Amino acid sequence: MANNPIIKIESLSKTFGSGETAVTALDDINLSIYPGEIFGIIGLSGAGKSTLVRCMNLLERPTAGRVIFDGSDITSLSDKELRKVRQSIGMIFQSFNLLMQRTALDNVCFSLEIAGVPKKEAKKRARELLETVGLADKEKAYPSQLSGGQKQRVAIARALATNPKVLLCDEATSALDPTTTQSILELIKELNQKTGVTVIIITHEMKVIEQICHRVAIIDKSRIEEVGMVQDVFRQPKTQATKKLIFTNGDSNEEFAGKGRYLRLVFDGSQTDRPVIANMVLKCGEPVSIAFAKTKMISGKMYGHMLLELPENPEIVKKIKAYLDSEDITYEEERYDA
């Protein structure tokens, strides 16, 4: 990652309306996103994430604050200058936003036409991009003849037509089924790796963040609550807003009602395919009860934590701790009184 951010947001706020009816969508947002990373912004509905991404290319004008793109304060640019900068910021949407009366090829050509690229050159570039996204055989198809995943691939090709430095994805997979979502995420990741384009993903789904993002920002009630590497945020969520997003199935142990001594195991990514608990039981000769567990495989590595009820026998407890030490697994003892 380069030292200088490709996008830097400083003290940004956005208010809709005025007086008593005013609604604050964003409140004092500060954020740095670096070239080449896949950066996720996640929040529940109404948190302000879509407004934030639209402020990045000034589709929404901030009420206060600055947006620095590639070293330039774009909030101070003229409309003509801003149109030029937007050629370096591609955007894809949940609803695809394709022109229904145009073929796939012509949809990709559209942004090139706006940029003033000659027609022959635009078609050549559009065909290259349709091949890149796996739709070389669909150039003459109209959106009504395409599946949801194919429409999104056309939208991605269109967004990449002007060789943008940044690709903004606003809930780009929310309207797709799980299998198609997976293929689109793999395509975005591949494009990031091959072209170096910076990708910013807006989503309400933690599984999207887990699969392809390097870093993530948690937005809640118009404010950024937490920013960090995906594995760190998942392993040790610092705020209630983050915990709400991670523990989507009500599997947090915030209201754990057990009683006695427990060990909290923290998996930090160094454990991959090892059956840690099974081996521990075999080695120590005593079964243990798992009171709570939340682990995920992120980029092929295990992250999360687990709460184990300790047996009463102090010798067995000593063996368990010795085994965990030998496996370099972080743990801490906790006591609960129901």
For the cut 80, the answer to whether the pLDDT of residue 75 exceeds it is yes
82 C-beta neighbours (distance < 10 Å), count: 15
User: Does residue 134 sit in helix, strand or coil?
Assistant: coil
Each residue's pLDDT tens digit, 244-285? 776 654 444 444 556 778 888 877 666 556 778 888 888 888
Give 60's DSSP letter.
S
Measured CA distances, 91 to 96, 171, 254, 326 (Å):
10, 11, 38, 49
- 313, with CB counted inside 10 A (0-12, 13-18, 19+), is exposed
33-67 pLDDT, tens digit each? 999 999 999 988 888 999 999 999 999 999 999 99
Contacts of 145 (CB under 8 A, 6+ apart): none
- pLDDT value at residue 289: 84
Q: What domains can you pick out in the chain, each with its CATH number?
A: 7-246 (3.40.50.300), 261-336 (3.30.70.260)
139-167: pLDDT as tens digits: 999 999 999 999 999 999 999 998 999 99
**Which secondary-structure segment (H or E) carries 106?**
helix 104-114
> CA-to-CA distance for 303 and 214, rounded, in angstroms?
14
Rounded Cα gap, residues 32 and 26, in angstroms: 16
**CA 80 distance to own-chain centroid:** 31
All residues at 6 or more sequence positions from 306 whose CB lies less than 8 Å from its CB, including other chains: 264, 265, 267, 277, 290, 292, 293, 294, 295
In whole numbers, what is the pLDDT of the chain averaged over residues? 86
The C-alpha atoms of residue 319 and residue 50 are separated, in whole angstroms, by: 51
Residue 156 in contact with residue 188, Cβ under 8 Å?
Answer: yes
